[in-house]
Homo-oligomer: A and B are copies of this chain.
Amino acid sequence: MAFPCLDKLEKKTQDLSNSCNIEDDNISSLDAGPEPSYSYVQTGFKLYKSDKPIFLDNGGYLPEYEVAYETWGQLNAAKDNLVLIHTGLSASSHAKSQPDNTKPGWWEDFIGSGKYIDTDKYFVVCTNVLGGCYGSTGPSSRDPANGEIYATRFPIITVNDMVRAQRELIRNVFEVSKIHASVGASMGGMQSLAYAWEFPDEVNKIVSISGCARSHPYSIALRHTQRQVLMSDPNWKRGFYYGGVPPHVGMKLAREIATVTYRSGPEWEYRFGRNRADDSRPPALCPDFLVETYLDHAGEKFCLEYDANSLLYVSKAMDLFDLSSSNRSKALQKRTATEQSWNSQNNISESHSVPPEPYKEKVGSATVTPEESLEDLRNGISKISHKDVLVIGVESDILFPVWQQREIADVLMQNNTTGDIRYFELGTNISNYGHDTFLLSLDHIGPPVRDFLG
């Protein structure tokens, strides 16, 4: 039996191996092919550099860090029209084209003059997240302590860590004390809530699209399989693949799994049905049905577009996201302890960027009932229940199921909110695009966002 899909992977490994001999630490970027959704942006963004450390929710810290960002529109004199856009897992700050990078951005038609997020009214800012690979400090950055690439010496980060880095940009570069809105979808929806949670007095309005207030074990499971597949690629080398062949096979497979979670069955029923790629040929174990060639293509397109370690760290940050009271309290304790230690010594002797103790596996059962857990979340979210919040959910989304969207609205409302809480749900009659609806059904997502921003 012929295995063209494996031939292709082996050829790519060989090509990458050849190119590694002439390049150094750079990640090779091959041609992305058609259907680009997230573009690999090496230029066109600005950099905010903090020389002060950032202390992290899990006890580590970064002695210094950079945040890549792009802007659209103008900051007004009152400095009260800033809209901060948060990205999903693998997106860059390039939400929209701009003079320094004219390629279409990932929300090109959502943001702009007269568009749903109107740059005639708002000063729009989008950053690359901490831990990412599109300009902000992440695992592929160099540790200033020794000049070496962090790789998996990079500390575990959280979504709340990401937004605390963003806030430094907002305060120090734009000198804005209160942003008009924090807007995001998917992991961007997490950030959107997290920003308000960390700085409730510095945000007017919050928009969370296809996000959540805490990650669900099923979503964790879906991301777990992607991470495990990636880490099992021999070329991952426990994160120290820079300068060598990157784990493109693991990245491709992880993206294929991810793509299954980003879309929906009904969409594929219409788009691919049970059609095979070539019905005149015998069935094969390599991609055969149209839907398989689609997944193969999606994986192929992504496998060198994003840094593998960034995928692991940012995916893990999503798992750890939880605005429950107990979780945030623990994070604050750990962070404060590291900060105090740092302040008293004006540094910390051992590097806390490496979790000091290895992890030991253990199988067990939940120690908290769903009801207790929900109460914990309600307590945590009460910190922002006086804010104006727009929650948008999509019924066909399996990664951030619609009941997680309702959960956000419910816990906000049950906290005797004084804010304007709005909840919109797009049924399967409106969108079968699943989790990716926020990228594809702009005309359905847009109007409630525009109205809410006011």
- A residues apposed to B, CB below 8 Å: 1-6, 9, 58-59, 152-153, 156, 214-218, 220-222, 224-225, 227-229, 231-234, 238-239, 249, 253, 256-257, 260, 264-265, 268-275, 277-278, 281-297, 312, 316, 319-320, 322, 324, 354-370, 373, 398, 401
B274 touching A215, Cβ below 8 Å: yes
A283 touching B229, Cβ below 8 Å: no
A362 touching B272, Cβ below 8 Å: no
Bound complex: CA of A364 vs CA of B312, how far in Å? 32
Q: 7 shortest A-B CB distances, which residue pairs?
A: A2-B358, A218-B265, A282-B355, A284-B359, A273-B366, A217-B291, A217-B268
Bound complex: CA of A316 vs CA of B276, how far in Å? 13
A322 touching B274, Cβ below 8 Å: yes
24 CB contacts below 8 A, A to B, read A4-B359, A6-B238, A9-B232, A156-B282, A156-B283, A217-B268, A217-B272, A217-B273, A217-B289, A218-B265, A218-B268, A220-B274, A221-B268, A221-B292, A224-B289, A273-B367, A274-B322, A275-B368, A277-B362, A277-B364, A288-B319, A290-B365, A293-B361, A294-B363
For A7, give the chain B residue with the smallest CB separation: B358
A220 touching B289, Cβ below 8 Å: yes
Other-chain residue from B2, B3, B275, B364 in contact with A367 (beta carbon distance below 8 A)? B275
B215 touching A228, Cβ below 8 Å: no
Bound complex: CA of A289 vs CA of B366, how far in Å? 10
CB distance from A391 to the nearest CB of B (A): 19
Q: With A232-B9, A366-B273 in contact, is A281–B360 under 8 Å at CB?
A: yes
CB distance from A332 to the nearest CB of B (A): 16
Which residues of B lie under 8 Å from residue A290 when comparing CB positions? 217, 363-366
Which residues of B lie under 8 Å from residue A369 when comparing CB positions? 273
For A33, give the chain B residue with the smallest CB separation: B363
Bound complex: CA of A288 vs CA of B221, how far in Å? 11
Q: With A1-B355, A282-B59, A289-B220 in contact, is A275–B366 under 8 Å at CB?
A: yes
Which residues of B lie under 8 Å from residue A272 when comparing CB positions? 217, 365-366
Which residues of B lie under 8 Å from residue A364 when comparing CB positions? 275, 277, 290, 293
A224 touching B295, Cβ below 8 Å: yes
Query: Can you add 10 more A-B contacts, CB < 8 Å, to A224-B291, A282-B359?
Result: A3-B238, A6-B232, A58-B282, A217-B290, A218-B264, A228-B256, A271-B365, A277-B361, A278-B359, A281-B355
B286 touching A361, Cβ below 8 Å: yes
Which residues of B lie under 8 Å from residue A373 when comparing CB positions? 273-274
Other-chain residue from B232, B296, B357 in contact with A253 (beta carbon distance below 8 A)? B232
Which residues of B lie under 8 Å from residue A278 when comparing CB positions? 359-360, 362
Which residues of B lie under 8 Å from residue A3 when comparing CB positions? 231, 238
Which residues of B lie under 8 Å from residue A322 when comparing CB positions? 274
For A280, give the chain B residue with the smallest CB separation: B357
Which residues of B lie under 8 Å from residue A270 when comparing CB positions? 366, 370
CB distance from A229 to the nearest CB of B (A): 5
A355 touching B257, Cβ below 8 Å: no
Which residues of B lie under 8 Å from residue A286 when comparing CB positions? 231, 359, 361
A1, A286, A358 pick with most chain B CB within 10 angstroms: A1
Other-chain residue from B214, B221, B287, B320 in contact with A361 (beta carbon distance below 8 A)? B287
For A35, give the chain B residue with the smallest CB separation: B363
CB distance from A11 to the nearest CB of B (A): 14
Bound complex: CA of A9 vs CA of B228, how far in Å? 11
CB distance from A145 to the nearest CB of B (A): 16
Other-chain residue from B253, B273, B357 in contact with A281 (beta carbon distance below 8 A)? B357
Which residues of B lie under 8 Å from residue A220 when comparing CB positions? 274, 289, 291-292
Which residues of B lie under 8 Å from residue A217 when comparing CB positions? 265, 268-269, 272-274, 289-291
A359 touching B218, Cβ below 8 Å: no
CB distance from A294 to the nearest CB of B (A): 7
B295 touching A227, Cβ below 8 Å: no
